[in-house]
Amino acid sequence: MSPATIIFYIISAFILVTGLLAVTTRKIFRASIWLLFSLIGIAALYFWMQLEFLAAVQIIVYVGGIVVLIIFSIFLTIKSGEEMPKPILIRSIFSALAVLFGTGFVVRIISLYTFKPISTTAFNLSVNQIGTQMLDTKDFGYLLPFELISILLLAAMIGCIVIALKSNDKEATTFQNSIQ
């Protein structure tokens, strides 16, 4: 085994173990930390494949964004420090079965697919290329999805502002009062 393979297995084991811990631990905050490690492991895998851009984006989006949001929402819940009760037996049996079948399904699909080794030269993507591809209108360009997503985010942002806005007009307050 070459050192690169050894590193690959170490990273994969790390991802799997932390992923497993994330779903089996009974403390919710720890679960989020294990999830964090699992996501960092995936970023490490990207680094291993020399996809630095993707790895950095993985860390920014998942670790810096999503996990922080999860942790914040855990902080805001009351029972964040306590241990969860043990799941009931029948639920664990069914979830184990679901995992088993899911794994079998994925393994089956992977084994059916024949992986062709593509050229062994490492691809060296410069940021320039990624940027051009992202905003390209020609074939394999990503301008349309990019813009769609930005519209989605804009809508979400406007929604947030509307929710957070203090309502000064009478109608809204009377409406709220009537609800109460």
Smallest CA-to-CA distance from 56 within 76, 42, 74 is with 42
Is residue 40 involved in binding another protein (CB under 8 A)? Answer: yes
Residue with Cβ nearer another protein (126 or 137): 126
Is residue 52 involved in binding another protein (CB under 8 A)? Answer: yes
Smallest CA-to-CA distance from 66 within 48, 39, 92 is with 39
Contacting range for another protein; rule: CB under 8 A; set: 73-81, 110-118, 140-148, 164-172:
73-81
User: Residue 83 in 3-state DSSP?
Assistant: strand
Residues paired with 83 in a beta bridge: 27
What x-and-dash track marks residues 94-123 binding another protein by CB under 8 A? ------------------------------
Determine which residue in the list 33, 48, 66, 142 makes contact with another protein, applying CB under 8 A: 33
Residue with Cβ nearer another protein (81 or 159): 81
Determine which residue in the list 8, 14, 53, 142 makes contact with another protein, applying CB under 8 A: 53
Determine which residue in the list 22, 36, 44, 45 makes contact with another protein, applying CB under 8 A: 36
Count of alpha carbons within 13 angstroms of residue 141, beta-carbon side: 9
Smallest CA-to-CA distance from 34 within 46, 10, 48, 16 is with 16
Smallest CA-to-CA distance from 62 within 50, 52, 72, 70 is with 70
Is residue 81 involved in binding another protein (CB under 8 A)? Answer: yes
| DSSP code of residue 123 | P
Is residue 45 involved in binding another protein (CB under 8 A)? Answer: no
Interatomic CA distance for residues 47 and 41, integer angstroms: 10
**Helices and strands (H, E) in the chain, number of each type:** 8, 0
Binding residues vs another protein (CB under 8 A): 3, 27, 29-30, 33, 36, 40, 52-53, 55-57, 59-60, 63-65, 67-68, 71-72, 75, 80-81, 124, 126-128
